[in-house]
Amino acid sequence: MAYKYFIDCDRCKGCGLCVNVCPKNVLEISDEVNTKGYFPIYQARPEDCVSCATCYRMCPDVAIAITEIVEEMSQQK
Ligand code: SF4
Ligand code: SF4
């Protein structure tokens, strides 16, 4: 099953909670500020993400979204 991972950078306060709980060490804090003056996270190693949603559950600011990608069934005639 495929998932789409989305970070709303302008909601992120750069608290690092999600960075610390990620079991795959995927996330890092950016060195560029967002519109609110915080340093948001980004997926530094997206290929290692297993879509476990631990970071999503941990974020107090709902800055992370993980959604399932529904793949269209190919229509066979
Ligand atoms: S979904 Fe899991 S593996 Fe992926 S970044 Fe979040 S905590 Fe890490
Ligand atoms: S837990 Fe949320 S607010 Fe904190 S760094 Fe992660 S995404 Fe940003």
Q: Topology of 2-69 in CATH?
A: Alpha-Beta Plaits (3.30.70)
Whole-number Å distance between alpha carbons of 45 and 51: 13
Give SS3 for 14. Answer: coil
Residue whose CA lies nearest to ligand 2 atom number 6: 18
Distance 45 CA to ligand 2 centre (A): 16
| Angle, vertex CA 42, rays to CA 15 and CA 48, nearest 5 | 115
> What integer pLDDT is reported at residue 71 of this predicted model?
76
Per-residue pLDDT tens digits for 34-70: 999 999 999 999 999 999 999 999 999 999 999 999 8
- The CA distances from residue 20 to 57, 60, 69, in Å, are 13, 14, 26
Please, which pLDDT band fits residue 7 given cuts at 50, 70 and 90? very high
Of all ligands present, the nearest one to the C-alpha of 38 is 2
Domain extents for the chain? 2-69
- The CA distances from residue 71 to 24, 44, 74, 76, 77, in Å, are 26, 26, 9, 15, 19
